[in-house]
Structure 1
């Protein structure tokens, strides 16, 4: 993994604390524009052609899932929660605010550990973090797995789906937030809620994104 001199300083210099549009109970350190921070990220890591810095934005699926957790706290109250591909840690923060016993944020992006720590502190919650690629092993023994905006490219979407199905088959509650991205497989998912989530045309194809929250059935 690429080493960064001071990811926390980079985040502090290039983001500002602002409320999440669809979950204003939560504030995150976010970038205002995609292109400048994307360019700065590539410069910092010394690598071109990187995916956008997901940790620097509140993506539609994560916003929808965070909203649903805040409105349905019984889903996570007193439970151990995994925020998979956590990015900013938005969903993990929502889980803790909804009464989760613990929330582990997992993401392989080298900036995410610092982003999650900074956002957790801003919202007065404690989050654990791992940079391990959890897809390389069996799903952890945990009660709830949350995954927002994970079906955006192949072949990763297939790996994620197989991993989540394994978790569901073992009795883990799997919750997914997704605005019907290209590789989202509706088969096996049960719809829980639908929202009109404010976003930006820089990130999405519209200023308001129709976003859904699903649970994955244990049966394939």
Structure 2
């Protein structure tokens, strides 16, 4: 993707998420203009919304816990799954993780994660490789706001539970999405996270961070 970093920089502003002011990201203020700009730049139509351009409530909650050492990651191998713009990954790197991976299927999200990581002076290995189904090579897995569709939930939850069974600490942050599983999750923290009406139907979301049980 030629000059993806330049495209992102032109269509976002540097801003600090409400719950994680220590980290500055390239973020959009409105979804429609950057969505249309992405379609024009890619010369494609009906693409997925640019979720990477917003600091989602689940990622903010995970990043907050990581920076506060409530989720200990120092010296560990960490995966930020469905990373968006890489907020939780950057927090893990800032908190001393030995290796941080960010997994996303959207190439623009990977470009945004790399740009955001560089801006914050940390190293994150960001890749569009599909990690679902891969054996566990991480000590901690962070997954923010991933249960928003039934097919997505059905695809990833058996794998996340399998990672937990292999010994990883799997933390899932959810702001009340409809397809969150009802069992096998142990709540560990709750936050009220300010949101934008560009993405949500309210001004804040109550986010619960769960540990996925083995």
TM-score band, normalised by shorter chain = over 0.9
1:69 corresponds to which residue? Answer: 66
Q: What is the Cα deviation at residue 12 of structure 1?
A: 1.0
Q: Deviations over 1:29-86 (max 9, x none)?
A: 0011111101111222233222211110001111111111111256211101000111
Q: How does 1:88-99 map to 2 (within 5 A)?
A: 88-99=85-96
Q: 1:51 aligns with which of 48, 51, 58?
A: 48
Q: 1:150 aligns with which of 146, 149, 157?
A: 146
Q: What is the Cα deviation at residue 110 of structure 1?
A: 1.3
Q: Deviations over 1:114-145 (max 9, x none)?
A: 1111101111111111111112x323311111
Which moved further from structure 2: 44-53 or 92-101? 44-53
TM-score (norm 2): 0.95
Q: Does 1:187 align with 2:189?
A: no
Structure 1 segments of 4+ aligned residues over 4 angstroms from their partners: none
TM-score (norm 1): 0.93
Q: Deviations over 1:64-114 (max 9, x none)?
A: 111111112562111010001111000001111122112101111011221
- CA 73–126 in structure 1, closer or farther in 2 if over 3 Å, else same: farther
1:60 corresponds to which residue? Answer: 57
Q: Which runs of 5 or more residues in structure 2 are unaligned?
A: none
2:207 corresponds to which residue? Answer: 211
CA distance in 2, matches of 1:32, 1:139: 38
The size of the alignment, in residue pairs, is 214
CA RMSD after TM alignment: 1.3
On the 8 A contact 2:65/2:71 being kept in 1, the answer is no
CA distance in 2, matches of 1:33, 1:139: 38
SS in 2 for 1:115: helix
On the 8 A contact 2:145/2:173 being kept in 1, the answer is yes
SS in 1 for 2:200: coil
CA distance in 2, matches of 1:57, 1:139: 30
